[in-house]
Structure 1
Amino acid sequence: MKQLYFLFFLLVTATLYSQTKVSGVVKDETGMSVAFANVIFKDSNVGTITNEEGRFYLESDDTYDAVVFSFIGFETKEISLGEKTTYKMEVTLSEEAAALDEVVIFSGKTSKKDNPALTILRKIWENRRENGVKKFNQYSYDKYEKLEFDLNTIDSSLIKSKMFKGMEFIWDQIDTSNVTGNSYLPIFINEAYSKVYGDNLMNEEKEILEGNKNSGFSNNQTLIAFVKDLYKEYDVYDNYLKFFDKAFTSPLSRTGIDVYNYVLLDSAYRDNKWCYNIVYYPRRKNELTFKGDFWVNDSTWAIKEINLRASKSANVNWVREVYIEQEFDVLNDSIFLITRDYFLSDFSFRKKEEAQGVYGRRTTLFDKYSFDKARDKSFYKQQIDPYNEDIYNRPDNFWEERRMEQLSKDEKGIYTMLDTLKTVPRFKAFYNIGATLASGYYQIGNVDAGPVFSIFGFNEAEGLRIRLGGRTYFSQNDPWRIEVFGAYGFKDERFKYGLSGKYLIDKNSRLTVFGGNRKDVEQTGASLTSSTDVLGRNLASSSLISVGANDRLTRINLSTAGFSIEPAKNFNVRLTGSFRTLESATETFSIDYFDENGVQQSELSQAELELGFFYTPKRKTSGYGVERTVINDGDFPNLYLGYTRGLKGVLGSEFEYSKLQALYTQPWNIGGLGRLYTTVEVGKIFDPVPFSLLNPIPGNQTLFSIYNTFSNLDFYEFVSDEYVSLHVQHNFGGRIFGRIPFLGKLDLREVIGFRTVYGNLSQENIDLSRPAFQSITDGPLLPSNLSPSNELYYEYSFGIGNIFKVFRIDVNFRGNYLDRPDARKIGVTGVFGFSF
């Protein structure tokens, strides 16, 4: 992950010439830009289309002396080329006097029932599940994938920049993109060769990686996996194509006619198959759509070729350009199989053409298809060794035999250039800055110091707090890890500390042992699902500013030991034993209770044994050490079921009880309507326990929007021994604001939220902890006053996201229980974050 952030860090600072290059802009006679016009070298099949601003770039390795420009409703124009390289052309097209006779053409809105392009589109829908490998019971094929990152829009000022002093040799690798026309410098390349097996009857697919090679960062599975997930595979026949956590409407979608215009432009033979050429372009701006064209066969209605270029006005951050090409080969008269997939994205902090950026390019080639060879279900379920060192160290002859596309001279040079660059001191300095920003830790030898973002904090018990910590880090695949921190509060004048260790015994079953001890101040009222993570997030000290008095804090001394195992992929079983002592951290907050003799106690000692089951289907991770990096964080469901048993008498433990808890979180892509997050939590304690062992409904007194908490609840405003809660948050991704003229260009995004909880509290538990409850309420000690038992508590919120591309502000409304003392009816919170 650190290496990837350095690649994007280059954004901040931010030869081989073809025989013929042209670029410029196409306009009509009034000076208006002509979008989606055809640009082609005369007497060739080498062409492109103009973007939404009418701009184009075209190049070829061959020499041509003329370029032809055409578009529906305009006269075709041919321009001679006096030089092999002609930039900044200004082309004016004149309206034609008569319409074409050969084909019925539509322009503007093309939803008319008699539009032949729509008739063809419906044929594609009818046959889309009958094409390619889906026509066979089983299939297999070889796959070669090449991923490359390039620093682009390189000019003389960047080349002469003092930032690159001592690294001038990197400019020898400069090339030019045949899609955008911008110069670029290759800075990273990764090659992968795999065998893919599938069974349509069992709905199973398995990919076995046989070789992987990259420049400069060998054996870094985190970087490789992150980049691959960024360019996850897609099917153009699907209704929505997901890139960068955004769902683009496919031009082949059944809902495509609602967002695209389609024009039947041409018909011709493509590899001895008669095909129709259809041009499509978006009806409206600011939506997640493409423009481009595709060729479709006239009998199978299978796609022969397609290109997609993301709309310039699409509400996507940090991405200036997305371009896709796919090519299909004819296996026989009725089956088309994909042979090539090309994906280019242009990342930049600004969308202006002259701004520096980073290209991300993926080329995937497919070969050696084989069909109808059945394999047992056990073949697809069998887990593969998470890391085989031989795969990442294949010899050169392995790649020479399996590459389906030879590397260019520039691509070969990347391997040498990156290896040399890593020895330059200035590069190392930039690398360390990027790594620190990415991970929150600063590496000193084999120790990471940090997290740097948790050094300062504030709360009512400690006042100003300073925290310093570190962890061992020899490599991302360390079989063991130790973490430690020390903290000091200037108000309570106390020293706090934490120590944690874990060791991976077996990498295949993920059998891990762990243990630790922490003595600290904690906000135990911030989460329903309890955690025994020794060095987990501490809301008591992570915020410098809070709403109201954040004084309901607890001093905790927690020791844990246990083990975890992963009997199946993404299914983890964990057994944890813990012992903790608890006491109030402030004079204004009490956790007092009556012991079995009726004597009031202010300190609690309790031992627990917890059995937890964690299931995260579709989660992707990298590495094989004791800690793994989650690649697709927030893109998979999360299920937890836990049983906790209180152990009376162990080390002086005072209570015996049983507790069940469950949590289910699920993200949903709702097509073109955005992204929905849902969370359900339930829990019950079956025996009497004191106040500090109950389940507080999670409040939030910070100024930050924290998902799965209640923004207008104070800490410990509600406490329960049984509960069920629901949290829903939906991000429309700008679909509403994008259609409002004066808001469309701001790329703002609409976010709505709803959260509710029902809880109950027995009179027995109230009587057991009467002193504690009296410290947090002025009213009678009844279940209806201490937990949301007489009616569901609920909140709702409206937010505006993507402010300056990094900030969201939410206005939160409390739905009921408004008559409670100091009830916060309306609140404003915000959250920072980088997202596409």
Structure 2
Amino acid sequence: MNKTGKGIPLASVKVLETADGTSCDSTGYFSFSTTKQSPFKLLVSAIGYQEVVYTIENQAIGIKILLESTDQVIDAVEVSRRQKYNNRNPAVDLIYQVIKHKRSNRLENQPKLSFEQYDKLQFGLVNPSDRYKKGLGSMSFFFDNLDTLTIPGEKLLSIFMQEQLSDVYISNNPKASKKKVKSLLQTDYDQRYVNNHNIQSYLSYLFQDIEIYDDNIFLINKLFLSPIANNAPVFYKYYITDTVQNEDGRFVELQFEPRNRTDLLLSGKLHISLDNRYAVRLADMQINKEANLNWVNDMHIILTYKPNADHFLYLDKSDVRIHFGVRERDAVFGRKTTKNYNYDFSPDFTNEVFQGAPLEIATSAKENKQMVTTQRPVTLSEVEKQVYANVDSLNSNRTFKSILAVGYLLAQGFHPMGAFELGPLEYLYSRNNIEGNRIRIGGRTTALFSEKVFIEGYLAYGMDDQKFKYYVKPTFALNGKSVAEFPAHYIQFGVQHDIFDPGRNLGFRKGDSFFQSIRKNRPTKWLDTYAYQVKHLIEFGNHVSLETGFTHHRRRPIGDLEFVSSGDPNVLLHDINTNDLEIVLRWAPYEKFYNRNLTRQTIIEKYPVFNVQYNRGLKGFWGGDYAYDALRASVSKRFFLNQLGFADATLAGGKIWGTLPYPLLEIPDVVKNEDRHVIDYAKMRNMEFVADSYVRFAFEHQLEGFILNKLPLIKKLKLRELWGVKMFYGQLSDANNPYIGSNVVHFDTDSDGNIMTHAMGKSPYWEGKVGLDNILSFLKVEYIRRLNYLQLPNVDKDTYRVSLNINF
């Protein structure tokens, strides 16, 4: 400063006509490098001072630039959106310094460190109505335990709570992190009706750990751009609002807000250190009410950092609270509180600690729950302490059990009967052109029967063909643990007699549900199938699994399906019998999932999933008619594209060696499938294409409203754009082509004499779609169009598909 000679913190210094420049530190000193040849000019500016243009004549060292104070005295700073925002201001310069120093301020950039971590996860009701208490009789006690202190004016009723203590290890060489959960305490509801693991998995997915130095903050399955992301100044506005001095040092308070308030961005304030580290001491952030989100009325994130002896700021505590509801009326809340403590920046551990998955829950964590109650670094309120006891009392309440049983039937389709449950409900009745009306009774065992043995099966009867069908598959644990517990190790056996449409896999859910029997492209060709199967699965802690199996499979065409010899049209093939050896190698790094018994659904995050499968046919053994080899591989991955939403991509391919009838070759799936590796085709007819070498590709991009959020009026509807394509390309070798080879079977025809199955030409099959999601917050409308092979018979070129899609 000209009058006092004191340094001016955060003064901006820029080389004119270039992008080079920097900001002064807390004492007014600055340094930077530039490729600009002298002479050149520096523009120096700071709030409350007149700008100065200073000319550098040669390679100057130790220059001193004086700024004149304006006559204005700033008593307070008022942030007003009515004034035009200036992209060139000290707040933006400061943010660029924070971005520049992000790498050195990240925890994992320390050579080594370890610390203990406490997590508390809560979920419950906001302002529950008094009608609940009056109408639930013996359950009314549960609604007395209300938290009225956390949020003034609000009453919070926790219905789920989990606490855990963990040891965390981080290394920079090699780059690795490990979290070992050593003690776990949570509310557990009756496991016959409630999957407590899935509640915990879902809430942990919604409330993931937040790293302010990442470009994106992942919460409630959405990506919010961090206010200090590399490209954050493109999307945010920044204002210096205050300076803060405390025992931890001197900090500048920055307020930030989105340039477009409908995008997935945040508002709030940051405290930035003025010690040349430009580290974050506090981040206080919330969503904007105009943001393109559903069912979220409020989201508040508070991150606080503390300095160590070297003045490195480490995360001390994070608190994330979200209120969910409709039209600003809160219904439920979720909250995650994390406390990091006992940091050791010179720990003594070896790299062996990083073996296995990054998150490891000790097998004794639940048994060791007492550690949480005696060593938690924060104190629970009396209301929070009572949640555990109340849930235990609720589990023994007869009224509550009845409510859970009805809810389980509606949600899962099964009716619990203790050690056994009947279902699924949607498979009780279906219809097809062979069986007519089909009645099926099925079910599965529960943990009350055994955790180490799991059995599922069904018995079905067709009114027209008057034949029984059946399926039974017992599974036995080989590691002394639950068959459903990860990592699993079990062996299973299966026997099945039923009718299948060609290309369908064996299994408990084989396409005979009520909803699939009324779909438009339901099958008309069937195989009467007998199958015997044995499989062995072993999973490893790094999410690599190895599955081996053997299947004896007998198929007989029924109805109007015929296998006519390609060598002699007067000869019919009555059976297709195979013996199949299978090896499946799967790698799903860092995978998290929901599960119910042996059924798992991957929680889709940024990590890929790889599958490699090898099959070999044994001819001559047990009546097997064919020898073959088949190799298949696939990979699926979700790409998070910052403000452009996310995209899901799946690539699969395979090759089959051997001379085989076409039902044993690759036939694309036309039934919607939730398996990420099985690509279904909406505008392809059943059994339309066949190949013995193939590649599949699917890509779907959901823009989350990135374009529509910018359009006046339309942005108020909170619509979300999506588009996607699917491709199948396959080739049929001469030996397997019935028009060339004489040892296979002809493609079948429909009722009009049209050939139903085709070998592909030189072009792959394509179909594409565009759509709008989030219509009225719960509808998705897609326009799907078949793009080629339109000359084939009975082709349906396009369609509209309307579906429910409830998402945040």
TM > 0.5 between the two?
A: yes
**1:406 to partner: Cα distance:** 0.5
Q: 1:547 to 1:270 in 2, by over 3 A?
A: same
- Does the residue aligned with 1:559 lie in a helix, a strand or coil? strand
Structure 2 distance, partners of 1:790, 1:382, is: 46
TM-score, length basis structure 2: 0.83
Structure 2 distance, partners of 1:458, 1:590, is: 22
Partner of 1:185: 157
Q: How big is each residue's C-alpha offset from its partner over 1:557-587, in whole Å with a ceiling of 9 and x where there is no partner?
A: 2211121222452111111100111122321
Q: 1:107 to 1:318 in 2, by over 3 A?
A: closer
- Does the residue aligned with 1:118 lie in a helix, a strand or coil? helix
- Does the residue aligned with 1:285 lie in a helix, a strand or coil? coil
Query: How high is the sequence identity, in percent, across the aligned residues?
Result: 23
Structure 1 distance, partners of 2:778, 2:243, is: 47
Correspondent of 1:369 among 343, 352, 376: 343
Partner of 1:689: 660
The question of whether the paired residues in 2 share the 8 Å contact of 1:555 and 1:582 is answered with yes
Partner of 2:306: 329
Structure 1 distance, partners of 2:637, 2:105, is: 32
Partner of 1:295: 271
Correspondent of 1:421 among 379, 394, 404: 394
- Does the residue aligned with 1:413 lie in a helix, a strand or coil? helix
Flag structure 2 segments of 5+ consecutive residues without an equivalent: 1-71
The question of whether the paired residues in 1 share the 8 Å contact of 2:459 and 2:470 is answered with yes
Partner of 1:312: 289
Structure 2 distance, partners of 1:494, 1:749, is: 49
Structure 2 distance, partners of 1:459, 1:147, is: 48
Correspondent of 1:653 among 620, 624, 642: 624
Partner of 1:502: 475
Partner of 1:719: 690
- Does the residue aligned with 1:393 lie in a helix, a strand or coil? coil
Partner of 1:276: 252
Structure 2 distance, partners of 1:705, 1:637, is: 11
297-306 vs 735-744, which deviates more? Answer: 735-744
**1:509 to partner: Cα distance:** 6.7
The question of whether the paired residues in 2 share the 8 Å contact of 1:613 and 1:642 is answered with yes
Correspondent of 1:800 among 772, 781, 788: 772
Query: In the TM superposition, what are the counterparts of 1:680-829 in structure 2 within 5 Å?
Result: 680-700=651-671, 708-767=679-738, 768=742, 772-775=746-749, 786-829=758-801
Partner of 2:502: 524
Structure 2 distance, partners of 1:222, 1:173, is: 25
- Does the residue aligned with 1:695 lie in a helix, a strand or coil? coil
Structure 2 distance, partners of 1:384, 1:281, is: 35
Identify the structure with bigger relative contact order (alpha carbons < 8 Å, sequence gap 6+): 1
The question of whether the paired residues in 1 share the 8 Å contact of 2:180 and 2:359 is answered with no
Partner of 2:443: 470
Is 2:128 the counterpart of 1:154?
yes
**1:604 to partner: Cα distance:** 1.2
Q: 1:709 to 1:365 in 2, by over 3 A?
A: same
**1:626 to partner: Cα distance:** 7.3
**1:523 to partner: Cα distance:** 2.6
**1:793 to partner: Cα distance:** 1.5
Query: In the TM superposition, what are the counterparts of 1:90-105 in structure 2 within 5 Å?
Result: 100=74
The question of whether the paired residues in 1 share the 8 Å contact of 2:544 and 2:587 is answered with yes
Correspondent of 1:558 among 523, 526, 531: 531
Correspondent of 1:448 among 399, 421, 428: 421
Partner of 1:233: 209
Structure 1 distance, partners of 2:216, 2:125, is: 30
**1:257 to partner: Cα distance:** 2.1
Structure 2 distance, partners of 1:499, 1:685, is: 30
**1:773 to partner: Cα distance:** 0.8
Structure 2 distance, partners of 1:574, 1:408, is: 48
The question of whether the paired residues in 2 share the 8 Å contact of 1:152 and 1:182 is answered with yes
Partner of 1:493: 466
**1:211 to partner: Cα distance:** 0.6
Structure 2 distance, partners of 1:770, 1:384, is: 51
Q: How big is each residue's C-alpha offset from its partner over 1:198-222, in whole Å with a ceiling of 9 and x where there is no partner?
A: 1111111111111111234499544
Structure 2 distance, partners of 1:181, 1:262, is: 32
The question of whether the paired residues in 2 share the 8 Å contact of 1:136 and 1:372 is answered with no
- Does the residue aligned with 1:709 lie in a helix, a strand or coil? coil
**1:595 to partner: Cα distance:** 9.1
- Does the residue aligned with 1:251 lie in a helix, a strand or coil? coil
Structure 2 distance, partners of 1:634, 1:472, is: 31
Q: How big is each residue's C-alpha offset from its partner over 1:641-693, in whole Å with a ceiling of 9 and x where there is no partner?
A: 11111111111111111111111111111111111111111111111101211
Partner of 1:405: 378
The question of whether the paired residues in 2 share the 8 Å contact of 1:705 and 1:831 is answered with no
- Does the residue aligned with 2:336 lie in a helix, a strand or coil? strand
The question of whether the paired residues in 2 share the 8 Å contact of 1:700 and 1:706 is answered with no
AA matched with 1:187 = I
The question of whether the paired residues in 1 share the 8 Å contact of 2:358 and 2:590 is answered with no
**1:471 to partner: Cα distance:** 0.4
Q: 1:333 to 1:199 in 2, by over 3 A?
A: closer
The question of whether the paired residues in 1 share the 8 Å contact of 2:108 and 2:170 is answered with no
Partner of 2:113: 139
Partner of 1:46: none
**1:143 to partner: Cα distance:** 0.3
Q: 1:304 to 1:223 in 2, by over 3 A?
A: same
Q: 1:387 to 1:366 in 2, by over 3 A?
A: closer
AA matched with 1:496 = K
Q: 1:475 to 1:145 in 2, by over 3 A?
A: farther
Q: 1:515 to 1:635 in 2, by over 3 A?
A: farther
**1:728 to partner: Cα distance:** 0.7
**1:597 to partner: Cα distance:** 13
Partner of 1:127: 101
Structure 2 distance, partners of 1:569, 1:701, is: 30
373-382 vs 745-754, which deviates more? Answer: 373-382
Q: 1:376 to 1:568 in 2, by over 3 A?
A: same
Q: How big is each residue's C-alpha offset from its partner over 1:350-380, in whole Å with a ceiling of 9 and x where there is no partner?
A: 1323x5x111111100101012335433321
Structure 2 distance, partners of 1:290, 1:618, is: 28
Structure 1 distance, partners of 2:310, 2:669, is: 62
User: Which structure has the greater CA radius of gyration?
Assistant: 2
AA matched with 2:169 = Y
Query: In the TM superposition, what are the counterparts of 1:6-25 in structure 2 within 5 Å?
Result: none
Is 2:240 the counterpart of 1:267?
no
**1:166 to partner: Cα distance:** 1.9
Structure 1 distance, partners of 2:224, 2:611, is: 32
Q: 1:761 to 1:215 in 2, by over 3 A?
A: closer
Partner of 2:489: 511
Structure 2 distance, partners of 1:304, 1:576, is: 56
Is 2:512 the counterpart of 1:535?
no
Q: 1:368 to 1:608 in 2, by over 3 A?
A: same
Q: 1:653 to 1:563 in 2, by over 3 A?
A: same
Structure 1 distance, partners of 2:455, 2:696, is: 36
Correspondent of 2:551 among 578, 587, 596: 578
Q: 1:777 to 1:139 in 2, by over 3 A?
A: farther
Partner of 2:646: 675
**1:395 to partner: Cα distance:** 6.2
Q: 1:330 to 1:135 in 2, by over 3 A?
A: same
Structure 2 distance, partners of 1:706, 1:627, is: 18
The question of whether the paired residues in 1 share the 8 Å contact of 2:427 and 2:512 is answered with no
Partner of 2:172: 200
AA matched with 1:455 = L
The question of whether the paired residues in 2 share the 8 Å contact of 1:676 and 1:729 is answered with yes
The question of whether the paired residues in 2 share the 8 Å contact of 1:189 and 1:214 is answered with yes
Structure 1 distance, partners of 2:449, 2:598, is: 8
Structure 1 distance, partners of 2:678, 2:85, is: 42
Structure 1 distance, partners of 2:537, 2:568, is: 35
- Does the residue aligned with 2:211 lie in a helix, a strand or coil? coil
- Does the residue aligned with 2:491 lie in a helix, a strand or coil? strand
Partner of 1:342: 319
Q: 1:778 to 1:627 in 2, by over 3 A?
A: closer
Structure 1 distance, partners of 2:606, 2:467, is: 41
Structure 1 distance, partners of 2:266, 2:153, is: 20
Q: 1:493 to 1:225 in 2, by over 3 A?
A: same
